[in-house]
Amino acid sequence: DIQLTQSPSFLSASVGDRVTITCRASQGISSYLAWYQQKPGKAPKLLIYAASTLQSGVPSRFSGSGSGTEFTLTISSLQPEDFATYYCQQLNSYPFTFGPGTKVDIK
Amino acid sequence: QVQLVESGGGVVQPGRSLRLSCAASGFTFSSYGMHWVRQAPGKGLEWVAVISYDGSNKYYADSVKGRFTISRDNSKNTLYLQMNSLRAEDTAVYYCAKGRRMGGAEDAFDIWGQGTMVTVSS
């Protein structure tokens, strides 16, 4: 199975900050990586697919990059509604594993 | 609008069974692969199972293989998860999710249900 790690696991930031989250895969997954945002008590929401394609309706302050084994999610200017937990997911091969998550909290 | 609504969760004793349902609306259900994902209390997301658009292909996480069965009824726009031999570690919110792409390889889950809680406890 392909394992995903995320760093950091926790991030404290202020409104307006630029935030970067890294996701690393245990083996190459081409660009089969998605990013999700989850708020407490809610279902995950798709942000990015194919490593760098913004899902329709998602603000342009979110961006993704990378391929192979290293990927990043960047929020260019953190907004109050962005405080949440972020997960990466690989869809290169079954089982479609998720990363452990990165919680973005208010500083 | 595009929507997935799960039902069937509840409290069940270890070793017993439960069947979850996921009713789809607002899109051509029969054209998309569908997934179950779960989240134990306070934990991260765990992919559970997938079924292809026509039901011909199914894959499972090792943690549920042989105990859980995914199925679908395209005439009813409904996805199912039959869970047998339940264990305490199966306690979680169970989400159904729609594959983003119609045909071809999956690249994301674009629509998620609100989730249904399953608690396995004596």
- Check which CATH number belongs to the domain holding A88 and give it: 2.60.40.10
Determine the residue of chain A that is closest to B109 in CA distance: A46
Cα separation, A12 vs A63, whole angstroms:
19
Contacts of A49 (CB under 8 A, 6+ apart): A34, A55, B100, B107, B108, B110
Q: Does A100 touch chain B (CB under 8 A)?
A: yes
Domain that includes residue A98, residue range: 4-106
Identify the pLDDT of residue A107. Answer: 87
Contact B112 A45 (CB under 8 A): yes
| Residues forming beta bridges with residue A22, ordered by sequence position | A7, A72
Predicted confidence at residue B57, as pLDDT, reads 95
* CB pair distance less than 8 Å for B61 and A95: yes
Q: pLDDT, tens digit, for every residue of B48-107?
A: 999 999 999 999 999 999 999 999 999 999 999 999 999 999 999 999 999 999 977 899
Angle B53-B57-B59 from CA coordinates, rounded to 5° = 115
Shortest alpha-carbon distance between residue B26 and chain A (Å): 17
Q: How far is A40 from chain B (nearest CA, A)?
A: 10
Q: A86 at the B interface (CB within 8 A)?
A: no
Number of domains in chain A: 1
Query: Smallest CA–CA separation between A65 and chain B, in Å?
Result: 15
Residue A106's pLDDT is 87
From A43, A50, A89, residue closest to B115, measured CB to CB: A43
CB contact under 8 A, B109 and A44: yes
**pLDDT < 70 positions in chain A:** none
Name chain A contacts of B44, Cβ cutoff 8 Å. Answer: 87, 98-101
CA B73 vs CA A53, B80, B109: distances in Å: 32, 8, 20
Nearest CA-CA distance, residue A49 and chain B, Å: 6
